Structure 1
Amino acid sequence: MVIDRNRWDNAVQIPPEKFEGFWRERLKTERDILLIVGLGWDPRMTAFTSALKDLGGAGNRDIHLIHYKPSLSFRSEHQEYIDLNLNAFDLLVDSWAVKQAINITTRNSENLYIGDKEIAQYYKDFDFSAYTEILVDLSSLPKSLYFTLLYILVKKSIAHHKFLNVHAIVCQNPKLDSQIVESADDTRFLKGFRGQFGRIGNETIPKIWVPILSKNHSESLKKLRDITTPRDIYPILPFPSKNPREDDDLLIEYSKIFANEWAHFSSMNFIYAAEDDPIDVYQSILKLFDKQQEALKPLGGASFVISGLSSKLSSLGAFMAAFEKDKIAVVHAIGRHEPPESMDKDFWDEEHMTAFKKKLHSIWLTGEPYEL
């Protein structure tokens, strides 16, 4: 049983070296599972589904495969890779699980992003009572969808399904993540995460922005700063990380932004959190939040906003912090995801798939460990 000041201070986190053993033991008991997976070009898409099938266990196995695209007729430039994933996925699922395609249109007729609203609308009305476990594989879902998806699932679980276990799954590969280029076509607050921004009477409250950094996000940083207009900025750098120089590399990459574009920015504001530990990111954000709320109390506290420009595991910590404190907003740069230039069909070979399955993490967000 977890009892602590913050909801997830002692969250159950399963790192890669314990992943297979934990899930093999858990699946010795009959579990009715809903697995939610995104259909995209990322070669890690099938890693957890394959691992889950290998683990066996009794109980129903249902899968929601999220087909997300700007319109139903849209065909991606990377359709070849998407088809590779879909074919591999269908072979895994055949005679093992019941698959349902969930169509999420991400753009409206005016080309405005609506993906987060669409996925919220679908799952807020969904009946989860048939399941004991909801497994959300983030490996091929964009942050602009899974932040809101997890928000709906965790909120519903806490409010209505005390015994519903929600788990987030990530195939962590910071090197691959850092090579994925995301454009910043739209920058806006994600559904469920407006915090105090835009509320009447809060216009004069100081704004604090916490971007969680990784490589290749200069354009996003500029646009996100424009929309947040912060008084102070507290960037989170990955340390420790798999690449021992990752934090130094980021300091060099963004040095001109720090020096020339962020007025009055102080190097004392850098925060360090472990690259592969969402709990460390979560606790670092909450510690800063509490400190700033107290320091700025005479001014009405602070309007707090975070941006997860990092790997999915670090961004999961950002989600947890924003869910924990409803005064924390999330603003995100939304756009096209481009695969690494070096990626080819070899990423789908057995060697790569085996390696991906050895990098699976999970974090248990609601359910049995948190029952009071």
Structure 2
Amino acid sequence: MARDRRWDPCIAHHGPEADAFVADYFALKDRRVLFVAGAGFDPRSRTVAERLVAAGASVRAIFFQENRPNALQGLIDRASANTDALLAAIADREVVPVDIFGADGAVTGGRNVVAILNRQQFDGITDIVIDISALSVGTSFPIIRYFLERIERRKGPANLHVFVAHDPKLDADIRSVPSDSPGYVHGFKGGSTLDSFATAAKLWLPQLAAGRRRALGRLHDFVAPHDTCPILPFPATNPRLGDALAEEYLTELESGWLVDTRNIVYADESDPVDLYRTILRLDDLRKPVFAETGGSLLVLSPFGSKVMALGALMAALERDLPVAHLEPIGYDLGSSVPTEIAAPNLVHIWLEGDVYPQPRPALLIEGKTAK
């Protein structure tokens, strides 16, 4: 009998457990890995690659290099150093440049990475490993959806792993410069495109992050929700982070978005499964309430912490929820950002694979099962 929720329970590892999992599982001789990651300026770019190599894994790698217009020279230099290190670590690899914006300014990154993956061969691969540490939401979400849909259609490979090096301070220090074109992440329009949701009660769930007021303001105007439930990290590495964010967004909460304090959502900063379950509970609670008046539609906007963004991704995949996003046109690094992370805190989610009982709950894509 199928379970009600696709990732409850969920196979996940954190910190030393994640390191131990990589060392043990990927050392097995029957594992053949396709490793998908970013070759960018983020100091976490090398983390998972180095651990896979240290485990003795059989790895073929695709490194996506996200290209944005007028990138700062300092970022280019960092990306080049990380790319050289990745090329030296893995012999069977390719670096694939990806234009995030088209000539007309339209966001094309998600569509471009999917087109590149469609040209790949997966014969003999047992495990897909995706490291989102140095990938943006606009590229990482479509990549993960692409492989999940392949598995759902029984095209394999069977095992899908997602890794991220958890560092909320680093996420905050990497400041994005938002573009002027809000929209939905490629493959994540969800119910927003269906006529049946035209009159739905729209609830926006933005993940609050420091220094993102302008971007979230534009997204609020784009989504035009009936209600807003901001997501704050708690517990968090910085125990005062939630209070600091509430203070930063006080104008939006009180007068811009008209948020009732009882509607603020709290989720564990270090555990993507916590936010995933919280979003699903909200969805379950709202469906019967609005069933007779046009239905309910949740719209997600992950910002800041990559771990919490992963939780939002899992909920979006399971319930076919739209993900409204403002793609960064560039980045600005804080002065404290290092060139490399010495002891990263890995988080691993085993999204699909041999460990889960069958049949799996159906995956929805724009209201239809992915079969």
TM-score, shorter chain, exceeding 0.5:
yes
CA contact (8 A) 2:37 2:63 kept: yes
1:82 is aligned to: 79
Alignment of 1:118-267 (within 5 A): 118-161=112-155, 164-185=158-179, 186-263=181-258, 265-267=259-261
Distance (whole Å) between structure 1 residues aligned to residue 278 and residue 304 of structure 2 = 15
Identity of aligned residues (%): 27
The alpha carbon displacement at 1:343 in A equals 4.1
2:277 is aligned to: 283
TM-score (norm 2): 0.91
1:52 is aligned to: 52
For 1:336, the aligned partner's letter is I
Distance (whole Å) between structure 2 residues aligned to residue 224 and residue 210 of structure 1 = 11
Q: Which runs of 5+ in 1 are unaligned?
A: none
The alpha carbon displacement at 1:293 in A equals 1.3
Specify which of 323, 331, 343 is matched with residue 355 of structure 1: 343
- Pair 367,318 (structure 1): closer, same or farther in 2 beyond 3 Å: same
Q: What is the SS of the residue equivalent to 1:354?
A: coil
The alpha carbon displacement at 1:70 in A equals 4.0
2:352 is aligned to: 366
String of CA shifts for 1:305-358, please: whole Å, max 9, x gaps: 1000131111001110011012x11011111342432146xx23xxx54322xx
1:314 is aligned to: 308
Moved more, 181-190 or 335-344: 335-344
For 1:222, the aligned partner's letter is G
1:66 is aligned to: 64
Q: What is the SS of the residue equivalent to 2:111?
A: helix
For 2:21, the aligned partner's letter is F
Moved more, 333-342 or 230-239: 333-342
Query: Of Structure 1 and Structure 2, which has the larger fraction of its residues in helix?
Result: 1
Distance (whole Å) between structure 1 residues aligned to residue 293 and residue 123 of structure 2 = 45
Distance (whole Å) between structure 1 residues aligned to residue 199 and residue 342 of structure 2 = 53
The alpha carbon displacement at 1:181 in A equals 1.2
Distance (whole Å) between structure 2 residues aligned to residue 83 and residue 126 of structure 1 = 24
1:22 is aligned to: 21
The alpha carbon displacement at 1:361 in A equals 1.3
2:362 is aligned to: none
CA contact (8 A) 1:40 1:82 kept: yes
Moved more, 178-187 or 310-319: 178-187
Moved over 4 A (4+): none
Distance (whole Å) between structure 1 residues aligned to residue 289 and residue 56 of structure 2 = 52
The alpha carbon displacement at 1:127 in A equals 3.3
Specify which of 266, 274, 280 is matched with residue 268 of structure 2: 274
Distance (whole Å) between structure 1 residues aligned to residue 194 and residue 24 of structure 2 = 47
For 1:87, the aligned partner's letter is D
TM-score (norm 1): 0.90
Distance (whole Å) between structure 2 residues aligned to residue 163 and residue 83 of structure 1 = 31
1:41 is aligned to: 41
CA contact (8 A) 1:158 1:366 kept: no
Distance (whole Å) between structure 2 residues aligned to residue 360 and residue 274 of structure 1 = 15
Kindly report the root-mean-square deviation, in angstroms, between the aligned alpha carbons of the 2 structures: 1.9
CA contact (8 A) 1:181 1:216 kept: yes
CA contact (8 A) 1:15 1:361 kept: yes
CA contact (8 A) 1:176 1:340 kept: no
CA contact (8 A) 1:162 1:367 kept: no
Q: Number of aligned pairs?
A: 355
Q: Which runs of 5+ in 2 are unaligned?
A: 359-371
- Pair 9,308 (structure 1): closer, same or farther in 2 beyond 3 Å: same
CA contact (8 A) 2:122 2:157 kept: no
